[in-house]
A and B are shown apart, each in its own frame.
Chain A
């Protein structure tokens, strides 16, 4: 027999309790990893290729207030601007399924290549999008989910505008940070609602990174003191602003994570205390046989650490396997496109598990250290 064998036999003497302890640690760490990944995905959306040269301009009052279409001519003349497209939220529901399963925006198809550089679309598909007014292009995730193919027709009931619009799918794109979206033509939307001369916002691309700040300033200045003042910002800033509208998600998730960790500490500490208390007498025997305090502390620590480590392997490993090899889009009904368990998150969860192992060993180890052999021997079995 070796010391590790001895520790293992002790840890597994009550198999049901060991199983339940490891399971509770595993489930809690799985939840912790899930929460942290969700937090990361929500607060740090994946950057689109080309995003560093893109910016958006929206109504300064609110995102829901439209902008006059006539602003486009002014923006296009600002030095450094390479392309400008309207970007209008349609809010369509597919097949009355009651939930917005993919977002739809009206854009200018002629600006597709210039502004939305990350869209992987064949020339034929783009030509189809440009040539037919009812044409739409849709992201691969949504196309796969709803089994759309090029040439299919779909009808969306708008929750923003009156009535429904029928679209013909001209292309299926990929390569963006969110391949769930659908783009259709602004002129089709304008026609259907009587050409009010309004757009949701402007999405534009500048020629170089050096143009970003001057263009933002120029756009903001150009519409100052008009009936539709504009707030221009980089695409990245816009995404972060948009996330902040969800409320203080970060605090909420951090609070839940803290509760999870705290509960985890209580469960593991309680298990270890029980495990040690029921063999107080045996530990006193070990002391009598010559085992020192530090050796007994090492036994308890190793056992506690072992339970936490086993739970960590199952919980963190399980989360990694599920979110890496599983279909996250399907699992979350399309809420999350990617759900990346990063090494940093895994490391953080492993650190929590390690601290948990140490923290839950401290109290039982201290009581064993304080215990005299004589008093320990008096303990009932």
Chain B
């Protein structure tokens, strides 16, 4: 059972409000507890580093906050919306407008250029082509890759690919950016660049960032670090 409550002070409305969040997996007859009654608040503009060993439930927690997984019990409110109550279609729409994703293995579409990859989430919006192009250019400028707009992922380094993924995450201007081991596949130099970019997003654009990482050096870029151990928060 999780005895630690990491909530904000009374009166301040957190960006993410998690209450007694539990996630159980069934593996045959055995039930595995991935998250055990987690209670947690994340303030707007925070850069939270979620740490913990493999299987501790940190990615599960991130997925639930981002609306790509569902808890077994509990509440998860993001900007006042309980994402656990939304249906598939509402969740998809909500993700498109409110969450930016950054993955460990970049996950760019190999047949699309950097600009086209960044433009993907905008295809679901009502923006016209010119408006989309402007936003894509801005996002690529933010991550310092405006000159690589027409390059395919295979023509870029790992660090550059991840920066394109960051541009894709912020192109819809979401309030929340979730990053699952964003530096896991990068060398230290590229990792520094990516973490610096995330830090700048928090500092300059006021984005709320939740990052899962194993690496204490990466975690140090965050404004707060929390640890998960066997599905429970630890001090």
Contacts and interface: CB of A to CB of B under 8 A. Distances in A.
Interface of A: 1-3, 6, 9-10, 13, 281-282, 285-293, 295, 372-374, 377, 381
Contacts of B206: none
Contact of B95 (A1, A13, A290, A295): A290
A294 B42 CA distance: 33
B124 A290 contact: yes
B69 A9 contact: no
Contact of B107 (A2, A285, A372): A285
B120 A286 contact: yes
Given A289-B121, A292-B89, A373 B112 contact: no
17 contacts: A3-B123, A6-B112, A6-B120, A6-B123, A13-B110, A285-B103, A285-B109, A289-B101, A290-B95, A290-B97, A292-B88, A292-B89, A293-B88, A293-B89, A374-B68, A377-B107, A381-B105
Contacts of B120: 6, 286, 289
B217 interface: no
A1 B88 contact: no
Nearest to B133: A1
A379 to B, nearest CB: 11
B12 interface: no
Contacts of A285: 101, 103, 107, 109
A9 B96 contact: no
Contact of A2 (B68, B69, B129): B129
Nearest to A295: B124
B141 interface: no
Nearest to A3: B123
Interface of B: 63, 66, 68-69, 88-89, 92-93, 95-97, 101, 103, 105, 107, 109-112, 115-116, 119-121, 123-124, 129, 168
Contact residues of B: prevailing secondary structure:
helix
B147 to A, nearest CB: 19
Contact of B111 (A3, A10, A286, A374): A10
A23 B73 CA distance: 53
Given A282-B107, A373-B68, A374-B69, A290 B112 contact: no
A22 B146 CA distance: 38
A330 B53 CA distance: 77
B37 to A, nearest CB: 21
A275 to B, nearest CB: 12
Q: Which 5 pairs show the lowest CB-CB distances between chains A and B? A: A290-B96, A373-B68, A1-B116, A292-B92, A13-B111
